[in-house]
C-alpha cells in the first residue's frame, strides 16, 4: 500500500490527504442547497467554520455536531457525486465529528432517513446523476476473486488488530435481546456461530459445506462438534491463516480447506452454512448462489446463512448505483432484501426459509467495538503500511455501518432453509 501525501498542521487545521477538487460555483451552490435541505430534514446539527450553527437540530442541547472544516471542498465533492462525495469529504478532512462527539452518533440521523436526503423533485433525476458500478466489478468467477482480494487480502495483521481473538468478521449475537449490550465480544461471536450451526443441524458426523471460510472460526466450531467440514474461500490470506489454525487445533483430518468458488463445488452435504457471504455475490448471481446451495444439499439437509439485508424498496432504488462503500470497501457487493431472497429461492430452487432470526442492533454494537479497537490500535496498524487516508476511510466505513444498523436502515438475519 502506498503512502498518501500528508501535510501535518495544527490540530485546528485539516490534514491534506486527498487531492483537492476544483469547485464549480453553480454546482457547488446546488450541492449546498441539497445539503441544507437534508440537514433540516434529518434534524442534524451543523457547525460552520465561523461558528454558525444550522440544521434542523441546531437548537437541540447536547445533539451530536457535524462540523464543517472546508465548505468549498465539501460542496465540490458533493456536487461531483453526492453519495460518494460525502464519504470522500470525510476522508479528505472537509468535515468531521466535532470534539467530544462520536462519528456514529453524528451519522445516525443521516442514515435513518437516507432515502429522504434529496428533495423529491430532484429524485426524479437520480438516474441521470447516479454512476453505475464499473463492469470490472461483476462477480464472475474471475471478478469475484478480484473483489474478495481487494478487501480480505488487505492484511491479516490489520484484521487481528480490531477483531476479537477468534477473528470473526460478522455480526456478533449478544445475550441481551436489545441495547445496552454487555458481555465479551468473543463469547457473543461464539454464540452467533453456534446459532448458525444449530439452524443447520450440525452434529457429530455431519458433512458440512461452508461457503466463505473467513479466518476459520465457524469451521473450527463445526469440527469441534465432530462434523466433517469442507470450507471454501477466495482469499489466499484467509486460507493460509485458517489452515494454520486447523493444523494447530489437530483437526486436519476433519477439515478440507480450499481456494475455490462456490460455483465449482461438487458433492452432497448434510448442512450448508454461509455467514455474510451473499453480500459479495452480486444480484446478477443470486440465482447461481442459491441454486448451488440447493444442488449441494443432501436430501433432508438444512442450509443456514447469515445475511445483511436492506428494505426491498431501498434495494431496488440503489441496485444499479455506484456508492462510496462499493468504491472503497466492498467492490462488487450488494445487500439483498428478504423479499429478494424469497423470490430467488422460489424461482431457482426447491428451498424455502423455515426460520428467521433478526438481530440488526447487535451488529451496531459489534461495529462500535470494532471501531473502538481500530482507533485504539491505530499505531500498531499503521506500521504495516496503512496511511492517514486509510485510517479516515475505515473510520467512516465502520462508523457509517454502525449508524445504519442502529437506525435500522439495514439489518442482519440468520435464515434456515429447507426443501419444501
Rounded to 5°, angle at Cα 415 from 203 and 296 = 60
Q: Is 401 a catalytic residue?
A: yes
Is 374 in a helix, a strand, or coil?
helix
Q: Which residues pair with 303 in a beta bridge?
A: 272, 417
- What's the CA gap between 276 and 415, in Å, rounded? 11
- What's the CA gap between 247 and 397, in Å, rounded? 34
- What's the CA gap between 268 and 212, in Å, rounded? 17
- What's the CA gap between 229 and 145, in Å, rounded? 22
- What's the CA gap between 397 and 377, in Å, rounded? 17
Q: Which of 401, 403, 410, 415 is catalytic?
A: 401
Q: All 3 cell numbers of residue 261?
A: 468458488
Residue 332, CA distances (Å) to 81, 289, 324 in order: 19, 15, 12
The answer to whether the CB of 238 falls within 8 A of the CB of 170 is: no
Q: Which residues pair with 64 in a beta bridge?
A: none
- What's the CA gap between 248 and 243, in Å, rounded? 8
* H or E element, residue 31: helix 25-41
- What's the CA gap between 361 and 134, in Å, rounded? 32
Provide the b/e sequence for 174-186 (b: ≥16 CB within 10 Å). beeeeeebeeebb
Write the CB contacts of 248 (distance below 8 Å, at least 6 apart in sequence): none
- Determine how many CB atoms are found less than 10 A away from the CB of residue 59: 9
Q: How distant is the alpha carbon of residue 204 from its chain centre? A: 33
- What's the CA gap between 250 and 241, in Å, rounded? 14
- What's the CA gap between 111 and 121, in Å, rounded? 21
Query: Where in the sequence numbering do the catalytic residues fall?
Result: 401
Amino acid at each position: 500500500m502506498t503512502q498518501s501525501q500528508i501535510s501535518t498542521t495544527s490540530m485546528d487545521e485539516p490534514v491534506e490527504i486527498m487531492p483537492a477538487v476544483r469547485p464549480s460555483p453553480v454546482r457547488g451552490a446546488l450541492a449546498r442547497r441539497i445539503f441544507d435541505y437534508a440537514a433540516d430534514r434529518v434534524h442534524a446539527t451543523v457547525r460552520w467554520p465561523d461558528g454558525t450553527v444550522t440544521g434542523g437540530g441546531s437548537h437541540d442541547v447536547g445533539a451530536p455536531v457535524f462540523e464543517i472544516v472546508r465548505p468549498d471542498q465539501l460542496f465540490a465533492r458533493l456536487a461531483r457525486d453526492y453519495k460518494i462525495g460525502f464519504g470522500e469529504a470525510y476522508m479528505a478532512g472537509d468535515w468531521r465529528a466535532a470534539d467530544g462527539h462520536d462519528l456514529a452518533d453524528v451519522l445516525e440521523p443521516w442514515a435513518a432517513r437516507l432515502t429522504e436526503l434529496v428533495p423529491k423533485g430532484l429524485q426524479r433525476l437520480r438516474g441521470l446523476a447516479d454512476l453505475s458500478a464499473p463492469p470490472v466489478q461483476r462477480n464472475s468467477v474471475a471478478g469475484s476473486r478480484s473483489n474478495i482480494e481487494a478487501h480480505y487480502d488487505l492484511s491479516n495483521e490489520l484484521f487481528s488488530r480490531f477483531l476479537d481473538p477468534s477473528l470473526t468478521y460478522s455480526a456478533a449475537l449478544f445475550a441481551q435481546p436489545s441495547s445496552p449490550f454487555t458481555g465479551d465480544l468473543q463469547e457473543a461471536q461464539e454464540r452467533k456461530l453456534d446459532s448458525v450451526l444449530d439452524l443447520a443441524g450440525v452434529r457429530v458426523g455431519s458433512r458440512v459445506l461452508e461457503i466463505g471460510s473467513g479466518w476459520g472460526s465457524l469451521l473450527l466450531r463445526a469440527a469441534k462438534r465432530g462434523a466433517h467440514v469442507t470450507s471454501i474461500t477466495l482469499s489466499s490470506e484467509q486460507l493460509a491463516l485458517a489452515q494454520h489454525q486447523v493444523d494447530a487445533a489437530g483437526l486436519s483430518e476433519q477439515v478440507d480447506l480450499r481456494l475455490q468458488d462456490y460455483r465449482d463445488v461438487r458433492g452432497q452435504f448434510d448442512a450448508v452454512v454461509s455467514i455474510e457471504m451473499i453480500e459479495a455475490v452480486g444480484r446478477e448471481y443470486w440465482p447461481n448462489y442459491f441454486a448451488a446451495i440447493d444442488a449441494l444439499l443432501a436430501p433432508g439437509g438444512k442450509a443456514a446463512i447469515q445475511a445483511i439485508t436492506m428494505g426491498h424498496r431501498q434495494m431496488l432504488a440503489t441496485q444499479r448505483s455506484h456508492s462510496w462503500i462499493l468504491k472503497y470497501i466492498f467492490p462488487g457487493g450488494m445487500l439483498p432484501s428478504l423479499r429478494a431472497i424469497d423470490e430467488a429461492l422460489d424461482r431457482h430452487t426447491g428451498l424455502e426459509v423455515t426460520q428467521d432470526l433478526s438481530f440488526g442492533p447487535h451488529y451496531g454494537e459489534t461495529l462500535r467495538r470494532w471501531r473502538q479497537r481500530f482507533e485504539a490500535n491505530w499505531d500498531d496498524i499503521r506500521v504495516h503500511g496503512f496511511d492517514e487516508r486509510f485510517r479516515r476511510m475505515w473510520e467512516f466505513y465502520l462508523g457509517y455501518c454502525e449508524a445504519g444498523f442502529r437506525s435500522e436502515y439495514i439489518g442482519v438475519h440468520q435464515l434456515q432453509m429447507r426443501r419444501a
